Structure 1
Amino acid sequence: MKKIALSLLLISALLSCKKKSTDSECGKVICTEEFRSIGIKYVDNKGLPAQVKDFSAVNQRTGEKVVPRVTAITTIKGSYIVIDDLNTKTLSEAGDDLKVTGTSVETNQTKSVTVKVKGGKCACHVEKISGPEMVTFD
């Protein structure tokens, strides 16, 4: 009796772990369980982290503001998350230009840069194609 109960428990556990694919376009996609984000760092003219106000990222293809879903990681002064894996499906497979803008709290100077990232319907993670890692205020 214990063997039957254990077997049923094991079978139900294995079946519940099976990932069901509802999108036949993607075929069999195997994704890692890591969580990726793409960030940017702001520094002052001395290379020290700069606090930014009015930070935003706008997808130039859609005109929509990009809001990273995980913001708890942004506790490091001068570092901001532009986009993360929870936004993957809103991106095109070819890549989208994101206009990233921030204003220095100290100097009130506003800087904008373009970061190109890709994702898509079948993508597991966001991926940076081009763009700066750091923005320096004068």
Structure 2
Amino acid sequence: MKKIALLLIIGIALLNCKKNKTITDCGDKMCTYEFVSYGIRFVDNKGEGAEVKDFSVINQRTGESLKANSSIYTSTVKGAFIVVDDGNKLQLSENGDDLKITGTSVATNQTKSVVIKMGGGKCACHISKISGPDQVVFD
């Protein structure tokens, strides 16, 4: 009975060691506790915030729809949307993914899309914008 208990303890210890190994796969990193998010703004032809419907973000590599956890806090600024945040980090590749952002103007019913490139991945501390616009302009 003691041998079985000892084998069980050794087995659990070995499993825990294997779990810790995945942490070191990324090397020694110092990450901050900040929470990074990236937003985009939809504006009309005068540069004013535009009311938008049918807002969407699609990862072009995976075809997956993305939704930022912090997106619920943007409803106070007209035309402003959080595209992705650190909660989406694992859904993005380290080299960056093209994200297609689309929205339709409530005033003109015009639909516009832009593509931005965002990086993340399991070893990244935070998401990062690689390229793309900060706003979408309706005609």
Asked whether the equivalents of residues 71 and 83 of structure 2 are also in contact (C-alpha less than 8 Å), the reply is no
Q: TM-score, normalised by structure 1?
A: 0.82
Higher helix share: 2
Query: Which ranges in structure 2 are unaligned for 5 or more consecutive residues?
Result: 1-19
Counterpart position of 1:57: 57
Counterpart position of 1:125: 126
Counterpart position of 1:45: 45
Q: Which string of whole-angstrom CA distances, capped at 9 and with x for unpartnered residues, describes residues 58-99 of structure 1? A: 000000001101123212111001100010011100000000
Query: Which ranges in structure 1 are unaligned for 5 or more consecutive residues?
Result: 1-19
Structure-2 separation of matches of 1:93 and 1:48: 34
Structure-2 separation of matches of 1:21 and 1:48: 51
The aligned length equals 119
Counterpart position of 1:100: 101
Counterpart position of 1:79: 80
Q: TM-score, normalised by structure 2?
A: 0.82
Counterpart position of 2:67: 67
Q: 3-state SS of the aligned residue for 1:116?
A: strand
1:22 offset after TM fit, Å?
Answer: 4.7
Structure-1 separation of matches of 2:124 and 2:106: 36
Counterpart position of 2:34: 34
- Kindly provide the amino acid, as one letter, of the partner of residue 124 in structure 1: C
- Kindly provide the amino acid, as one letter, of the partner of residue 110 in structure 2: Q
- Kindly provide the amino acid, as one letter, of the partner of residue 120 in structure 1: G
Runs of 4+ in 1 over 4 A off after TM superposition: none
